[in-house]
Amino acid sequence: MKSTSEDGDIIDCIDIHKQPAFDHPALKDHKIQMNPTYNIETETKKSETSGDSMLAQTWQRSGSCPKGAIPVRRVHKNDTSKRHSESDYGTKKAMPFHYNRAVNDTLNLLQPNHSLAILHTEGFAYLGAKGDMKVWNPHVESDDEYTTSRVALKSGPIYNYEAMESGWAVNPSVYGDRQTRLFVYWTADGSKTTGCFDLTCPGFVQTSNEIALGAAIYPISNPTGLSYQITIYIHKDLNTSNWWVQYNERTNIGYWPPDLFDGIRYHAETVQWGGEVYSTRVGTHPHTSTGMGSGRFPDPIMQSSGYIKRIRVLQNNLVLMFPKWIYIYADEYNCYQTYYVTDYVPDPEFYYGGPGRSPVCH
């Protein structure tokens, strides 16, 4: 059974027991968990952003999948051709082993070819993280570049980190176009040999028959019109140790089994909220013109930039709370900036983004 979306995507309804996850050697005898075994009490506060209840995925206009099946976006041949090889399709580029930090320190990049503008917390054992993020469709200059806005939980050293991420992305090399799409991502070794976006490799176990990973999100925020946002909540089930992804406080999309990881199977060491741009032309001249957030610098007044609100972490006390310690960080402040607001707002807000190449970013 398949559904052809008006945006060109083909969504196949796959038997939940025959999904790609179970091709992973560690998940050979895995038993599917259909729902989290407990529910951390969530806040009932409604979104302050107009129109967020209208958010959907484009393919849902053309059909749906029955219970017992999951919607899987079909990968087109032209999607994989945008990469150097099919073997690295759906992955992030790993940090090269020979990376000379002394040379690259002048570029102020935490990782080569990646530019971040994030809110960061550490110092505790994190069992979950949550945030409301505004949805935009920033410009991506080249097919081998991408931009994401996400919630990320990480552990381990920078050269060999473990990570789980979810949010929205514009990523031509994975999706074959420049639409804004819902994504999840994971790796157990800094993206050297493990991990991928969505279901493009075995790992993530999907349970929802309503949400297609990698499918386009609509509507998109307009600087002069309505605003739209999504809520992402990643949290650990303490009974099974599965890491669940919840979308818009209503839908449990699926989970990463603990067997995929070493350290993060117990807890995450850091949490990040914000944007990431990948390009071989970050930290160089001329800089890429790929945007982050809306493609505008942080704008807490008109809110025409990327933002994360209702920033929360889950710790051992099992209470969703604002982090006790935070740090704002930008790899290239002239290109992608950050702005943290605590005054005259009911809850701290984080704004981020930028256009990339501009008169102040060459």
Chain-centre distance for alpha carbon 20: 20
CA quadruple 182, 270, 244, 21: dihedral sign = positive
For tokens 């290109």, the residue is 335
N residues, the chain:
362
Return the ∠ at Cα 329 (arms to 305 and 279), rounded to 5°.
70
Cite the active site residues.
Answer: 165, 276
Residue among 164, 172, 168, 189 nearest 256 (CA) = 164
Separation CA 35–CA 316 (nearest Å) = 21
Phi first, then psi: what are they for 95, rounded to 5°? Answer: -70, 125
Omega prior to 298 cis, within 30 of 0:
no
Separation CA 69–CA 18 (nearest Å) = 9
Residue among 187, 239, 188, 173 nearest 36 (CA) = 239
